[in-house]
Amino acid sequence: MGRLKNKRTIVLDQSRDVVVSKIMSLVNNVNDEYKDLEWDIQKDRNILCDYSQFLTKDDLKNTHENKRYSYPDHFSERISKTVTNPRFFSDTSPKPADVKQGIRCDYWLHAVISAAASIPGLIESIAVARKEDSYIYGFVFFKKDKWVGIVVDDYLFYKTQERTLLFSECKDPRITWVPLLEKAYAKCHNNYENIYGRCMRDALVGFGCKDYKAYKTYDIKHNPAKKDKLWNSFPSDMKKNNSIFVCHGERVGCGLISCHVYSIIRAVNFHNHRLVEVRNPWEHGEWKGSWSNKRYNQEWSPWIIQKDNKHYIEKLNYFLNDHDSFFMEYDDLLNQFDIIERCYYTPPATHTGLDLTNKPISSWWNGEYNIFYATLGQDESDLSILKLKF
C-alpha cells in the first residue's frame, strides 16, 4: 500500500509554484497503490459531514427529517475497481458534457466545473498531477489568501442499491476527473457537506479568479450600447475569447429550475437572431420558450435536417434534444436573469501540469479569461467590484 510517510496530504503556501511543486513531488514519490490515510473515507464518517456538531440523537434526527445531512445507504470503493478501463480524461482532455450532477445540491460547483471545462487547459491547471496506476491525484485550489494543494486517492462513495456514485460523476462512468476533483474540493473544505449550498464565488475564487463584478441586467437591456458591449464579450464559434459563464435563478420561468445553476456555453448570431447556448449538468429542467429544443416546427423548422436519424442544425453543429444543453434568445436571457456577474482568470506566467502515468498534460494557457454568471430574483447592487488575489 502506497503511503506518504511523515508528509501531510494538504500543502499551504502563498506561492502557487511552491504548492504545485510540492504536490508533484508527493505524487511522484508513490509507486504502489496509494491510500489516503489522512482522509480515509472508509473509516471517517465525518468526511460526509461533521456529525460532532449534533449534541444529541434528536438533533441529528431533526436534520434528517429536513433531508439535511441524510444520505442513502452507501459504501466506499476505489473507482478503479468498479469500472473497466477507467481513465482520468476522455480523449486526453475534459469536456463540459462530461459533468453529471449527483444527489446533493452543489449544482453551483458543477456549473462552474462544466463551464471551466470549455477552456483548454483550465481544468488541467487545477488537476496538476496524477499517477493513475497508483491511484493518486493532486489538485491545487485557492482559499483564504493561500494556495492549497490536495492529494487524494480514488476511493469514492457509492449508493448501495443502485451501485452508482453517491455524488458527482461523469456521463461515461469510465471517466474519473469530475468525481475526483469534487472529492479534492470537499477535502479542501473538510467534508462533502461543507460544499453543499455554497455560492459560486467560492468555486471561482478556488479556481483562481480576480476582478469580480456584478451588474443589473435591467440597466443592460434598456441601454443598447451596454447590451451590445456585453453581447460582444461573449464567446462564440467565430470568436474564442476563452470566457466562461454560469447562471442561476431564484424563480422558475419557462421550464428553468429555481435555485439551480446553469453554465453558458456560447453565443451565436443565427440568421439575425442572437442565441445563447446554455447547459444544465442536472440533465433536466430546460428552457421551454422560444428556440427551445422542443420547438421543431416553430423557430428551428426552416433549418432542420436529418443526420443519423436525428434533428440537426448544421450551422451550429447541434443536435436538437441530443444532449442537456439548449438555446435561448439573448433578450430572454436578460429578461430571465436579474444580475450578471463577471470574474477574470489570469493564469500564472508559467506552469506545466504533470501526468506521471503517461505524458505531461496541458500547460497553462496564455492571455486573460473572463468568467460570468447571472442570478435570478435579486435586486441588489448596480455594480460591485471585488479584487481577488490570484
Active site residues: 260, 280
Is 137 within 8 Å of 151 (Cβ atoms)?
yes
CA distance linking residue 327 with residue 279, whole number of Å: 9
DSSP letters for 195-240:
GTT--HHHHHHHH--EEEEEEEHHHHHT-HHHHHHHHHHS--SS--
**Whole-angstrom Cα Rg for the chain:** 21
Phi, psi values for residue 35, rounded to 5°: -130, 130
DSSP category for residue 125: H
Helix-strand-coil split of the chain, %, nearest 5: 25, 30, 45
- Amino acid 267 reads A
The β-bridge relationship of strands 354-355 and 383-386 is unpaired
Q: Among residues 280, 290, 91, 50, which one has the least CA distance to residue 174?
A: 91
Q: Judge whether 317 and 325 are in contact, CB under 8 Å.
A: no
